[in-house]
Structures are given as structure tokens and as C-alpha cells.
């Protein structure tokens, strides 16, 4: 008998609350695994798809992209994993249109190239904050259409260049800082003063208060004599991309912004391209990050789960509460539910 599965269903457009009820258990395809979810995390896109219907869905739908748990079944072509492995994964139902690949349920199908083993000292609650932020940052940093940086390594060769990360305490920023450093770059970032120590712990060498009226001048002055590899803007709205572009246009180096928010294709004469955080599914970057880099980096403590998890409840019934908690705002934390 297959395991009994349940999910938090979005039954209709903009419907609240989610309805917890049974869901099919699906066995994995050749390059897939099934994970019994131990913890899942909330992302802005989850809130947007429920409350604003920002992307079309076939209802009833299951949301969720960030999960961590234990493998219960593997596909015939999977060689990296075995049943019982502890893993984190980027659930890709948004791309595949298969709700068996969504995170907000008891059992989720994950692609083996979008999954990474986690060491015993990292909890599921901590691990599940990583996937979507990591994938989004990786696409913006490594894809040829974006910044095309060298892939991350646990022993990177210094490039002598600086990457700007605008919004370092966000989920994408927290992962972007660590990936950039693991690719050999120095990182200059922005944050609220209360999060300065947080982004420095992640490895940023200099941090600037994005609330400051002189933030552009301050960063430009600090970059004098340095060359940038471009910028990763993790905020986009409320004038952030304009400030980031103002810095990029005044300093030496790559005049390009990988943008985590939908913005015009050019800002102050600087090209800014929106990142599709799922596009690495079908290219070598997924293997470079989730297979070659992340498991070793986590095991060696050279990459840490970030932002910190804020656990707001237990069980699928708590996912609606978590979505509402996210909508109220959170800083340098990611909202998590244990299952």
C-alpha cells in the first residue's frame, strides 16, 4: 500500500483559508525522488498566488516550493540518493504544472538535480529556508543571459572583483552573498542597520544602509579603484533598482543587474533582467549548485542556511497562518512550518 498523503489545497482563486484534505501519493519517475516533508518554508510567490492570483493556476492547486525531509522512494535512474537520506529540495510544480511536485503536502516529488543532501547537524527547519532563494540567486549569478560568473566552490579562486548585492538580508540576498563569495568575489551589500551583523556573518565585506540618503554616494566612494562583476538586486520595488543602477553606472565593471523583481528592461541606462528562479531546472547550473557544491559546502560549514527560520506552527493546518504571518512582514528570517 502506498503512503497516505494529505495537502493544503487552494481550492479556488484567491480562496482562504487553504483546505487540508487528502491528496494522491505519486511514485517517482526515473530521475525523481519522493520526500516525506519534515518542514516547508513560505516565499513571497506563495502569498501572491493565493491572495492576488499573480500567476494562472489550475484549481484545485497545491502551492509551495521550499521543503526539507527524508527520502522514502527513488526513481530507477537516481544514483545520488538512497531511501532514508535527509535532503532539501526546490519543489517545481510551478514549472511542471504537476501538483505532486508542490511542497505544501505530506509527500512531494523532487527532481534529483534540484535536491541536495543535508548533514545531520542541520535541521529540516533550517534546511528548508534555502531552495528557492538559492535557485533564484544561482540563476542571476551563473546563467549566461545574466552575470555568467564562475560556478561556486568550497575552495574558490579570488577574482579580485566585487559583486553588489542590493538587499542582502532577503532570502535571495542571503544566498546570493554566500554564492558570490564561493565564486571568488568580494561582496558589497545593503541592509537595514539592525541587519548589518547578519549580512557580515554571511560574508559581506562592506554593508551600507539602504535607508540613507547618501547610500549611492557612499557605495560609489567605497568602490573607487575596484571593478564590479555587476549587481544582484533582491528588492526591485520602492526605488531600490534605481538606486542600484545609479551605483552601477558610476563605477568600473559589468553594467548589468540581475533583478529578482519584475522591472523595466533598462534602468538609468543599465540593463536589468528579471530572474526566472526555476530556469536552472533544465541546465547544468542545477547540477553545479545542488550536486557539486551545496552538499559539500553545508557539510564543511562553508554555506549556512539563511535567513534564519521562524517556525510559526506545526502541521499542514498551520500553512494558512504562515502565509498570513508572511504578509505582515518579516526581516532577516524566513517563515517555516514543521510537518
Q: Where are the domains of the chain?
A: 5-130+305-338, 134-274
- What pLDDT does 192 receive? 96
Question: Across the strands, what pairs with 258?
Answer: 232, 273
- What pLDDT does 12 receive? 94
Q: Where are the alpha helices (DSSP H) in 30-187?
A: 44-51, 93-96, 124-127, 131-142, 171-182
d(CA 93, CA 71): 18
Q: Render pLDDT for 282-296 as a digit per residue (tens, 0 to 9).
A: 899 999 999 999 999
Show the cell assigned to 213. 540618503
Q: How confident is the model at residue 2 (pLDDT cuts 50, 70, 90)?
A: confident
Residue carrying the nine cell digits 561556486: 152
Q: How confident is the model at residue 263 (pLDDT cuts 50, 70, 90)?
A: confident
Higher pLDDT, 38 or 53: 38
Is the model's pLDDT at 54 over the cut of 90? no
d(CA 241, CA 205): 21
Average pLDDT, the chain: 96
d(CA 108, CA 11): 19
> Between the CA of residue 213 and those of 185, 218, 242, what are the distances in Å?
27, 9, 13
Give the mean model confidence (pLDDT) for residues 330-339: 94
Is the model's pLDDT at 329 over the cut of 90? no
| CA neighbor of 176 nearest in space, from 152, 157, 155 | 152
- What pLDDT does 264 receive? 83
Is the model's pLDDT at 256 over the cut of 90? yes
Show the cell assigned to 57. 493556476
Phi, psi for 113 (deg, rounded to 5):
-85, 0
* b/e sequence 58-92, b meaning 16+ C-beta within 10 Å: eebbbbbbbbbbebbbbbeebebbeeebbbbbbbb
Show the cell assigned to 166. 542590493
- What pLDDT does 267 receive? 94
Higher pLDDT, 15 or 163: 163
Name the pTM for this structure: 0.97
Percentage of the chain beyond pLDDT 90 is 89
- What pLDDT does 51 receive? 86
- What pLDDT does 328 receive? 86
Q: How confident is the model at residue 156 (pLDDT cuts 50, 70, 90)?
A: very high
- What pLDDT does 330 receive? 87
- What pLDDT does 280 receive? 94
Give the mean model confidence (pLDDT) for residues 116-135: 98
Q: Which CATH superfamily is domain 134-274 in?
A: NAD(P)-binding Rossmann-like Domain (3.40.50.720)
Q: How confident is the model at residue 262 (pLDDT cuts 50, 70, 90)?
A: confident
- What pLDDT does 333 receive? 94
Is the model's pLDDT at 247 over the cut of 90? yes
Task: Count Cβ atoms below 10 Å from residue 27 Cβ, excluding itself.
Answer: 11
Q: How confident is the model at residue 56 (pLDDT cuts 50, 70, 90)?
A: confident
Q: Render pLDDT for 166-222 as a digit per residue (tens, 0 to 9).
A: 999 999 999 999 999 999 999 999 999 999 999 999 999 999 999 999 999 999 999
- What pLDDT does 53 receive? 80
Q: Render pLDDT for 217-239 as a digit per residue (tens, 0 to 9).
A: 999 999 999 999 999 999 988 89
- What pLDDT does 190 receive? 98
Number of residues that make up the chain: 339
Specify whether domain 5-130+305-338 bears CATH 3.90.180.10.
yes
Give the mean model confidence (pLDDT) for residues 115-140: 98
- What pLDDT does 52 receive? 85
> Between the CA of residue 239 and those of 14, 39, 44, what are the distances in Å?
28, 34, 19
Amino acid at each position: 500500500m502506498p503512503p497516505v498523503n494529505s495537502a493544503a489545497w487552494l481550492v479556488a482563486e484567491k480562496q482562504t483559508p487553504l483546505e487540508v484534505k487528502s491528496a494522491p501519493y505519486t511514485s517517482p519517475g526515473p530521475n525523481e525522488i519522493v520526500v516525506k516533508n519534515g518542514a516547508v518554508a513560505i516565499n513571497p510567490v506563495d502569498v501572491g498566488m493565493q491572495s492576488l492570483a499573480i500567476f494562472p493556476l489550475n484549481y484545485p492547486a497545491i502551492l509551495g516550493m521550499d521543503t526539507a525531509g527524508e527520502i522514502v522512494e527513488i526513481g530507477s535512474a537516481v544514483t545520488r540518493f538512497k531511501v532514508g537520506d535527509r535532503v532539501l529540495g526546490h519543489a517545481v510544480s510551478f514549472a511542471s504544472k504537476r501538483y505532486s511536485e508542490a511542497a505544501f503536502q505530506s509527500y512531494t516529488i523532487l527532481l534529483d538535480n534540484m535536491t541536495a543532501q543535508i548533514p545531520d547537524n542541520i535541521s529540516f527547519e533550517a534546511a528548508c529556508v534555502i531552495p528557492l532563494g538559492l535557485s533564484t540567486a544561482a540563476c542571476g549569478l551563473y546563467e549566461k543571459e545574466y552575470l555568467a560568473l564562475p560556478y561556486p566552490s568550497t575552495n574558490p579562486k579570488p577574482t579580485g572583483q566585487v559583486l553588489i548585492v542590493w538587499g542582502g538580508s532577503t532570502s535571495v540576498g542571503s544566498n546570493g552573498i554566500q554564492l558570490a563569495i564561493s565564486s571568488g568575489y568580494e561582496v558589497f551589500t545593503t541592509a537595514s542597520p539592525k541587519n548589518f551583523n547578519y549580512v557580515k556573518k554571511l560574508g559581506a565585506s562592506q554593508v551600507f544602509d539602504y535607508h540613507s540618503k547618501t547610500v549611492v554616494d557612499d557605495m560609489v566612494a567605497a568602490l573607487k579603484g575596484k571593478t564590479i562583476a555587476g549587481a544582484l538586486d533582491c528588492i526591485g520595488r520602492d526605488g531600490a533598482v534605481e538606486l542600484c543602477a545609479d551605483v552601477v553606472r558610476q563605477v568600473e565593471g559589468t553594467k548589468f543587474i540581475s533583478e529578482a523583481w519584475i522591472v523595466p528592461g533598462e534602468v538609468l541606462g543599465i540593463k536589468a533582467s528579471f530572474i526566472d528562479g526555476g530556469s536552472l531546472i533544465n541546465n547544468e547550473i542545477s547540477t553545479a549548485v545542488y550536486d557539486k557544491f551545496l552538499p559539500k559546502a553545508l557539510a564543511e560549514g562553508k554555506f549556512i542556511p539563511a535567513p534564519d527560520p521562524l517556525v510559526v506552527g506545526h502541521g499542514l493546518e498551520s500553512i494558512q497562518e504562515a502565509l498570513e504571518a508572511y504578509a505582515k512582514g518579516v526581516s532577516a528570517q524566513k517563515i517555516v512550518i514543521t510537518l
